[in-house]
């Protein structure tokens, strides 16, 4: 939640502050990963629908989850926060009020189960 600023606050610095991307240990970040993933040479496959690509990686703190289009998701200990950060080339900066709303907006809520979006 953003702090309340006094009426005497300059509008330009306030706008600059409000448009800064959220950061910190409590932030949840998502990254679309359309290609296949492999850990230690073993390809990742969804245990629910057998998909092999088109993932959403979700980072919160030190943990990274893999989410499939069928809405199946699991904690993936093979992906560290540093690995997640290395995959982010240009973050788009889109923010959602909750993880559930982000999953719906990005199509990982089960609506596109069995489909690869390219």
Q: Which two tokens stand for residue 39?
A: 């850990």
Question: To the nearest 5 percent, what fractions of the chain are helix, strand and coil?
Answer: 20, 20, 60
Question: Taking the model in full, what pTM does it have?
Answer: 0.70
How many other CB atoms sit within 10 Å of the CB of residue 11? 8
pLDDT digits 0-9 by tens, 26-58: 778 888 889 999 988 999 999 999 999 999 999
pLDDT value, residue 68: 94
- pLDDT(64) > 70: yes
pLDDT digits 0-9 by tens, 77-118: 999 988 888 887 666 667 788 888 888 888 888 887 877 766
What's the rounded Cα separation, in Å, for the pair 42 and 37? 8
């Amino acid at each position: 939640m953003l702090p309340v600023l006094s009426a005497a606050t300059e509008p330009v610095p306030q706008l600059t502050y409000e448009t800064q991307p959220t950061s910190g240990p409590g932030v949840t970040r998502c990254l679309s990963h359309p290609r296949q993933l492999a850990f230690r040479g073993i390809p990742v496959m969804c245990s629910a629908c057998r998909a092999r690509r088109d993932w959403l990686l979700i980072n919160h703190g030190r943990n990274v989850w893999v989410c499939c289009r069928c809405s199946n998701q699991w904690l993936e200990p093979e992906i560290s926060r540093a690995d997640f950060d290395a995959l982010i080339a240009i973050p788009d900066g889109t923010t959602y009020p909750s993880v559930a709303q982000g999953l719906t907006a990005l199509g990982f809520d089960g609506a596109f189960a069995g489909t690869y979006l390219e």
